[in-house]
Amino acid sequence: MPGFEVFGEEEKQQVLEVFETGVLFRYEFGEQRRGVYKVREFEEAFARYTGASHAQAVTSGTAALKVALSALGVGAGDEVITQGFTFVATWEAIFDAGAVPVFTEVDETLNMDPADLEKKITDRTRAIIPVHMLGAQARIREIKAIADKHGIPVIEDTAQAAGARLDGQHLGTFGACGTFSFDSVKTMTTGEGGMVITNDEELWRNMSEYHDHGHDHVVNPGGRGGEGRRFIGFNYRMMELQGAMGLAQLAKLDDMVASQKKTKARLKEAASAIPGVSFRTILDEEGDSATFLAFMLESAEQAAAVNQVLRDNGAGAIAFGENTWHFYPKWEHLMAGSTLCHNGWPFSLEGKRRVIYDPEALPKSAELMSRTLVYQIPVKMKNEQLDTITAALAKAAAL
């Protein structure tokens, strides 16, 4: 990752076809656009690729979560369970829907721990959002079984795992719906943009109408129809230029993943020489999108020492235990209940605090993340960079 590494004539041609029509809006202007509907074509292609019945393009991965939550009817007074290792967008969307995020531990997959999930379910739980973090599979079958037992829908946050599979089935197709991000650092990118996939036609219709201000799409499914509205909505529409980029990038996705796998294998082999090292649990190596290599040391002290050697040799790894964007106890604005709203929403309502988060609430995750190091895997890693990292890992192994 990211997909801009392979920008070429395919992306240029797709975009030029949009410019030739002069229509950037995904709907209407039928005569002027001369049959060119890039967003609709992208939705259809993405649905075919993942094996989903329906796909709804939106403006971002964050918007995809908000649209999915809204389509499922999540709102004020509800709780939505997600994991404590994720990008802030996952829980931002939950708050924006009016609900309260509840966080679980992660296990050695670096994704939701099903055992802790079971403990966090209450009679207010309205949805569960496991995240296929760093491009690899959560224990989605176990999570789905728990959710089904309680009658709770699952939204798969697949923002970082486009192209990943579990036993041949695309991630994002196990739950009620799956959300994707195509932002500037994702394996396939449209600059900004996102997608929601589902096999539930009524859920898709809700998403289709909600993301377009509630416009009635019944007359022309996937397009605009009459002037009736079943409910209020908002504007999360993808524009034609993004759809054009998505078509070109999607056609390259499997090749990008294959390239990442080769590089990841080289780095994993080099990291294997470090005494006491272990690797993140990957449930299906063949289905891994290989966007990251995550490895664990025996202690936080060893991880810090190893990373210092890597940094000193120009190949520092990401220590997500220290990262302020992706790990629960480091979200200082969440812990403090910081908000622009004068009444304290979404943390407070009518002068009463709705929720308070304890930075010590996920000890298992904190211990695991404190000794975890991660490398991002480019689509095209230059030989010089690969040599630098492998040489640094060799020096770390000699500690």
337 φψ region: left (φ > 0), alpha (ψ -120 to 50), beta (else): left
CA distances from 145 to 127, 150, 200 (A): 13, 9, 18
DSSP 5-37: GG--HHHHHHHHHHHHHT--SSS--HHHHTT--
Count of other CB atoms within 10 angstroms of residue 9: 9
Q: What is the C-alpha to C-alpha distance for residues 195 and 47, in angstroms, rounded to an integer?
A: 10
Which ranges of 22-121 would DSSP assign to H, the alpha helix?
30-33, 38-50, 61-71, 89-96, 114-120
Catalytic residue selected from 186, 268, 364, 395: 186
186 carries an active-site annotation: yes
| CA quadruple 359, 365, 368, 371: dihedral, nearest 10 | -30
Contact partners, residue 383, CB within 8 Å, separation at least 6: none
Q: What is the C-alpha to C-alpha distance for residues 74 and 153, in angstroms, rounded to an integer?
A: 10
Strands (E) located in the chain: 54-58, 79-83, 100-104, 125-129, 155-157, 165-166, 169-170, 177-181, 194-198, 278-279, 292-296, 348-349, 352-353, 372-376
Strands (E) located in 106-263: 125-129, 155-157, 165-166, 169-170, 177-181, 194-198
With contact defined as beta carbons under 8 Å apart, do 82 and 91 qualify? yes
- Active site positions, annotated: 186
